[in-house]
Amino acid sequence: MRKPFVAGNWKMNTNGQTSVQLAKRIAEGSAETAGHDVTVAVCPPFVYLQAVTKALSSSSIAVGAQDIYFEPDGAFTGEISPAMLKDTGCTYCLCGHSERRHVIGETDELINKKVAAAISGGLLPILCVGELLSERQASKTNEVITRQLKQGLAGLSAAKLSAVTIAYEPVWAIGTGVTATPEQAQEAHDFIRTLVGRMYNGQVAEEIRILYGGSVKPGNAAELMNCKDIDGLLVGGASLKADDFLAIIQATV
């Protein structure tokens, strides 16, 4: 049985005060689901990681970074290393989020280095994949996911894959209010699990957690979670409202 996993991606939102307030409200509210077997993580902006980790220290909520750099140190202005993230108390790290791919211009090759560096640095990467609307319309969804997964996971052994979570986030559903239907999401998740099985083995495919992301809200979380291959949710906008995020966590248990 795969344990449900809900992660909140705060993106470039909150400030020093509101990041801590939001973390504390989520920690207080999630005490109700504490008895349930669910992994919960929040991914604040880099500069608030330490404060949020501190605010969550007596809770079971983990903290993740929204990005990482693959080099251990050196002249890489503006970048943050795996060891620095570990230092702040991070457990998880998003790699290849669609905004990094399509706004910042990250390539599959760079994302692969980030995933590998995260694992070597003792972090648990969440590798994000997903197609653009034009790619879906051109029936290229599976082709895009295959490329992103094969290149994103290149060189990683089956043993290392146990550190990885995959997030399927169709780009057309992110921040648009348009959610993939449970059927569309399940189809993509099934495809991803089958592909992981072909790339590694059946056991790895059974064990890996695949999250859905893209306009997840309290009102659609339960129906998405009812899908056989959806193991959790990566939540953007709705993770900035404690009540909504808590309701989404509740829907997964």
97 in active site: yes
Question: Taking CB under 6 A as the rule, which mask of x and - marks residues 172-191 in contact with ligand PGA?
Answer: --xx----------------
- Contact region with ligand PGA (CB under 6 A), list: 12-20, 34-42, 167-175, 219-227: 167-175
CB of 7 to ligand PGA, least distance (A): 8
Please state, in angstroms and rounded to a whole number, the distance separating the CA atoms of residues 75 and 73.
Answer: 7
Q: Hey, which residues between 207 and 236 contact ligand PGA (CB under 6 A)?
A: 213-216, 234-236
Identify the residue among 135, 169, 231, 244 touching ligand PGA (CB under 6 A): 169
**Contacts of the segment 29-33: beta carbons below 8 A, 24+ positions apart:** 29/242, 29/243, 29/246, 30/59, 30/60, 30/61, 30/246, 30/249, 31/59, 32/246, 32/250, 33/246, 33/249, 33/250, 33/253
169 in active site: yes
Nearer residue to ligand PGA within complex by CB, 13 or 50: 13
Identify the residue among 4, 5, 6, 9 touching ligand PGA (CB under 6 A): 9
The phi, psi pair for 156, rounded to 5°, reads: -90, 130
**Choice among 99, 135, 169, 189 that is catalytic:** 169
95 binds ligand PGA (CB under 6 A): no
Determine the longest span between alpha carbons in the chain, in angstroms: 48
Please state, in angstroms and rounded to a whole number, the distance separating the CA atoms of residues 88 and 77.
Answer: 19
CB of 239 to ligand PGA, least distance (A): 7
Please state, in angstroms and rounded to a whole number, the distance separating the CA atoms of residues 19 and 16.
Answer: 6
Nearer residue to ligand PGA within complex by CB, 22 or 204: 22
Question: Taking CB under 6 A as the rule, which mask of x and - marks residues 234-253 in contact with ligand PGA?
Answer: xxxxx---------------
Q: Using CB under 6 A as the criterion, which residues of the chain lie in contact with ligand PGA when the complex forms?
A: 9, 169, 174-175, 213-216, 234-238
